[in-house]
Structure 1
Amino acid sequence: MGFLTGLNIITVILILVSCDCRALHPHTLLDTSELIRIRGYPAEVHHVTTRDGYVLQLHRIPRGLTPTPRPCTRRFRTHESKGMRWILLEWLKKVHSREISRRCGSAQGKRPVVLLMHGVLSSSDDFVLNDPHQALAFMLADAGYDVWLGNARGNTYSRRHVRLSPEQPEFWDFSWDEIAQYDLPDMLAYVRNTTRAPTLDYVGHSMGTTVFFAMMNYYPHINGWIRKMVAMAPSAYIHNIFAGYRMLSIFSQIVGGSESKYETGRLSVEGKTSLANLCSPDALTRGVCLKIIGLVAGPSRHAIERDYLPVIVAHTPAGVATRVLTHYSQLILAQRFQAFDYGPTRNLEKYGSLTPRQYSLERVTVPVGLFWSQDDWINTPRDVAQIAEELPRVMLNYKVPLRGFNHLDFLWSEDARRLVYIPLVKFLKT
């Protein structure tokens, strides 16, 4: 949502500043699967067609670079003697075998499964945009997980439909409601079916948490599919957002409202190249790039690798439907966690009432770990506190122990490994 302001500022700068055309970092124009493979990890590309016709691209890291544990062996001495002693030993042997199978499943190829879901204007790229020991997807793969990276409809990887084209306004006729109703549950079902895992872990950032919370209001049974959920920068109530965003929300309702149906924030190859040059280590405009990130996401120590910032800005923003942003604007102004507000007439047709459906966090019955920061201007401590109060099973309420850690630092900061990812992996494994 706040990226729109940043994008406008960047556009002006690009007009005023001529391209220096420095040599690009070799990762600048790579897609997610290429970013994974260039780090030496195996990568797979999967496609999921939602029930309403959108074709979503998922990326998978089936294993990490750490050695695969040796399979456990089932050792139990055979006894030929009969009678009660023999019967007891045979029963103990079966119990022993089942316990070994339970403990050693991942060692025999059945790795625990995790799905990572991005935020607004982001994509699967954001979980692999760092060195392997610092990017969350690689860390989870090396921790023994079968890692899946989702992409919501409309971003750079999910721009296909069985009958619509992105050139048609109808393609963009969705908010994050549809991502919660169709994209996320259909991706989860696909991952479960492909891996044959009855349960999996889920990690969301920002909008990735919003759609998870809303999804459980439509499909409460999916709680049974999830072992644990991690919410980085949890987003449901956002009315305490930075004041500048409240003003933008009022403006967006005046100029567009619920009728906006188009795309914003996707970069062309030329745009990616220009931004990468603008934010390169030796560019005079590099400081402007960092200022814009601070304006968008909140105060930051800017612990972003100097040489990798151009790669990051070339991958984010990744495109979004304007109605997704409008939906968040509605949450800010309504001060409620609710479905998209189409206005009284269409609300009555769609929801059976003049007002939109209200979502309840009490429907989220899985164990949840909340990871939030004091200086996140988008998902503020006050809003996170309300979320924590209403979720029934908050198992961890973790405040990042560093001032100057903002909304985007959860993805890009060099400090994220130490301050967020190590505690996150520990939470999932306990």
Structure 2
Amino acid sequence: MLNICLFIAIFTKLFVSISGLDATPDWLYSSDPDCGLSPCQLIESRNFICEQHYVTTDDGYIINVQRVVNPILKAAGKKTIKPVVLQHGLFGSSVHFLVNSAGGFAADWTNGTGSVDITTEGRNLAYFLSNFGYDVWMPNSRGNKFSRNHTNLNPKKDPSFWRISFDEMIAYDSPAVIDYILQKTGFENLAWVGHSQGTLLIFGLLSEKPEYADKIKPFIAMAPIAHVTHITSPIRYLTEIPGLMDFFYVAGGELTAPQVLLDLMAEQVCGQQVVQPACGNLLFLVCGYDAEQFNFTRVPVYYSQGLGGTSAWNLLHFGQNIVNKGFLKFDYGALINYQRYGTFEPPAYDLGAITSQNIILMGSANDVFADPTDVETLRKSLKVPFTEYRIADQQFSHLDFIWAKNVVDQVHKPMLDMLKKFQ
């Protein structure tokens, strides 16, 4: 397994550089219409209106953000309740909140669901919240396939474009997105719903810039991550391969798989019903096992749409924190650390500096990324009151927060109750 992971990392870099393939050719299509669609195409396929927004950060990165507009509520003259940001996790994108089921069409659920089967129609979080009257915004973190633009740097020609990790997402992306949305909507605060790395960004931001506590009400952390010392996903074993972390540091660059290969896998392999359980097991290997709540018929969509990509340094940063056993900034080595931080070791994000009392932790017992032991470390680090919601399903895993069959009852309905307290 470990050698395979190393091979994939190296092969991907070589394939992209040699072939130049960065898009799916016209001849490849999937029997599932959600495969290969852009975020806006997905949103519009459910009869919502999609707005594309581009947020430029102070260091020149251009963050692509999709806004979901409910035309039924708009036509009725109903104002949205408040902005809600949905922030994806590591390797993810805004698409993660759009493809859990084929349902989720534009409707008005503000006075109840009527004849709609919400357990099916509500599985995609973005559509679910929009149908209940929320103004949904979905940023794509720098370096994923939808946010590969910069005011000066070319991601295909300038290696420095990829010398980024979640440090920059904390320092630049998150505050830029928050300020942009508040300016556009006229609201004083917004809700932030993060998944995995999408939670880490706000834990980091609130520790570095406590003033953002007044702008984020509430912060709902699904599968909350700050510390990753006890992560049990095979990703942790990448840190034990001699020389691999050094390779990632020196090589840098983009870390993804060519979209044409993902679509080939989705259509020609995982699109075959007899193979779908095996394809699902590959996801379980990395993200945790919960076959009962996994919709195997969506496997081709998950393969086609699931990998948004990131920088090699971002994954390396997680590896460093596994080894260093802390929520630390990027480790450049003693000399560069001293130049950047004034210390030979990378400094820690001080979770004790967080002042927000509007934090909600949504955790589960079977999460291989947000390990319960690490979540307990997070709890103890917070010096302010917070709310905790534990998923009742003991098999609920990391990806279940966005893709489980019972996600409406386990996550979305409780989340709606939480949001109503901050209207």
TM (normalized to structure 2)? 0.84
- Is 1:305 matched with 2:312? no
Correspondent of 1:58 among 62, 65, 85: 65
Structure 1 residue 260: Cα displacement? 3.8
The match for 1:408 is: 399
What is the SS of the residue equivalent to 1:285? helix
The match for 1:79 is: none
What is the SS of the residue equivalent to 1:56? strand
Contact 2:80 2:134 in 1 (8 A): no
TM (normalized to structure 1)? 0.83
* Change over 3 Å in CA distance of 1:279–1:403 after alignment to 2: farther
Tell which structure's C-alpha radius of gyration is larger: 1
What is the SS of the residue equivalent to 2:329? coil
Cα distance in 1 between the residues matched to 2:184 and 2:410: 33
Structure 1 residue 236: Cα displacement? 0.5
What is the SS of the residue equivalent to 1:43? strand
Cα distance in 2 between the residues matched to 1:22 and 1:344: 49
Unaligned runs of 5+ in 2: 13-27, 105-121
The match for 2:185 is: 195
**Once the two structures are superposed, what CA deviation does each residue of 1:367-410 show, in whole Å capped at 9, x if it has no partner?**
11111111111111111111122223453212211132211111
The match for 1:363 is: 353
The match for 2:333 is: 343
Correspondent of 1:135 among 124, 143, 156: 124
* Change over 3 Å in CA distance of 1:139–1:306 after alignment to 2: same
The match for 1:237 is: 227
* Change over 3 Å in CA distance of 1:7–1:392 after alignment to 2: farther
The match for 2:315 is: 325
The match for 1:124 is: 94
Cα distance in 1 between the residues matched to 2:29 and 2:137: 34
Contact 2:70 2:130 in 1 (8 A): yes
Cα distance in 1 between the residues matched to 2:273 and 2:90: 28
Cα distance in 2 between the residues matched to 1:64 and 1:213: 34
The match for 2:410 is: 419
Unaligned runs of 5+ in 1: 13-20, 71-106
Contact 1:276 1:311 in 2 (8 A): no
Correspondent of 1:292 among 273, 282, 285: 282
Q: Which one-letter code corresponds to 1:372 in the other structure?
A: G
The match for 1:26 is: 33
* Change over 3 Å in CA distance of 1:347–1:255 after alignment to 2: closer
Contact 1:7 1:265 in 2 (8 A): no
The match for 1:180 is: 170
Q: Which one-letter code corresponds to 2:97 in the other structure?
A: F
> How many residues are treated as equivalent by the alignment?
381
Cα distance in 2 between the residues matched to 1:278 and 1:396: 43
Q: Which one-letter code corresponds to 2:167 in the other structure?
A: D
CA RMSD of aligned residues (A): 2.4
Q: What is the percentage of aligned positions where both structures have the same residue?
A: 29
The match for 2:112 is: none
Cα distance in 2 between the residues matched to 1:22 and 1:163: 34
Contact 1:267 1:317 in 2 (8 A): no
Contact 1:64 1:143 in 2 (8 A): no
Structure 1 residue 217: Cα displacement? 3.0
Structure 1 residue 275: Cα displacement? 2.4
Structure 1 residue 23: Cα displacement? 4.8
The match for 1:429 is: 420
Contact 1:56 1:152 in 2 (8 A): yes
The match for 1:82 is: none
* Change over 3 Å in CA distance of 1:423–1:411 after alignment to 2: same
The match for 1:74 is: none
What is the SS of the residue equivalent to 2:35? coil
Correspondent of 2:147 among 138, 148, 158: 158
Q: Which one-letter code corresponds to 1:293 in the other structure?
A: L
Contact 1:253 1:329 in 2 (8 A): no
The match for 1:149 is: 138
Cα distance in 1 between the residues matched to 2:240 and 2:47: 47
What is the SS of the residue equivalent to 1:231? strand
Contact 1:373 1:405 in 2 (8 A): yes
Structure 1 residue 255: Cα displacement? 4.0
